[in-house]
Chain A
Amino acid sequence: MQTKITGRVWKYGDDVNTDVIFPGKYTYSISDPKEMAQHALEDLDPTFVAHVQPGDIIVAGKNWGCGSSREQAVTCLKEAGVGAIVARSFARIYFRNCINEALPIATCDAVDGVESGDEVTIDFAAGTVTTPTGDYAFPPLSPEVMEILNTGGLIPYARKQLGLE
């Protein structure tokens, strides 16, 4: 995993649920990640898919990714090019899905200091998100969780555990 990520901000609010990140009507009918990316944030921000650039960073309020456990709500963003997600807090299963899909995340209040289109830098080694209006510190992930992220997600990690790598 890169220790420093810089990207352009897409700013969202509190309690954004997985139904608006990836609608339930597609959960059992779309299996191709590229097709999933075409529906990312469809019911929250219809402009997102047309304008997202590789490496963009989502910066949101509390409880990002609440609701359904659907992992496509992570896959669709990753496939759309999102480089990281910063939120005031994450819903638990969404948090795990990010780790398992190796999509870097940071938990802090950076949403207070940014607008959509700003550039921010996440420094995972220092534990800071640098925004145009100041720095926001975030707590490090536990070593167990970092290991999964650094291995490239849960599939490579499970392969390693099973001695297949």
Chain B
Amino acid sequence: MMRTIATVVRRDLLLAFRQRADVANTLLFFVVVVTMVPLGVGPELNTLRTIAPGIVWVAALLAAILSLNRLFANDYADGTLEQMLLAGEPLPVIVLAKAAAHWLVTGLPITGMAVLLAVMFDLDAASTVILIASLALGTPALSLIGAVGAALTLGLRGGGVLITLLVLPLYVPVLIFGAGAVETAAGGLSPQGHLLLLGAMSLGATVLAPWAIAAALRISLE
């Protein structure tokens, strides 16, 4: 099982590397959305400091959704997905590996980039650490939950809009606790509860989402 996971992750990372432009677009989108906000809201430092975590989190959600159709659509079009469905290894294991690879090329770099964006919004060191921790703990849930939506809308006309409508409501709890973590800390309370809940969501998604993704893929490929 570990060998299958390693193989699929390696394959998807290699493909992501060969299609670097696609991956870079997602990250660029994330940065551009975040940098647009000060231009719209105005350069009032205190306002920006307060809204920064929320902005970063919303941009992370949008960037995650934007990258979702890359997850299965290409494999579906060239028939490799069909082969994965007929593999001797359980499909939930394979899709878990695919979601992990997706997180490595979106969630992880987004988390890293947030350090720079935090500086841009003049967040203090303590808030930055909490923001990064919340992203690191929460973004795996985004990849996993999003993969369920991507699997369900596979091969549908207008799947791009549908996936947004399907997945965004499911992202709400992650957004609330992700952005809430920094605000709680700013209010003088411990952000631990928020971070633990984020971690729990990601762990829960790791256990449950692969089964849902596998079932959705089998339906989509009927």
A joins B in a complex: no
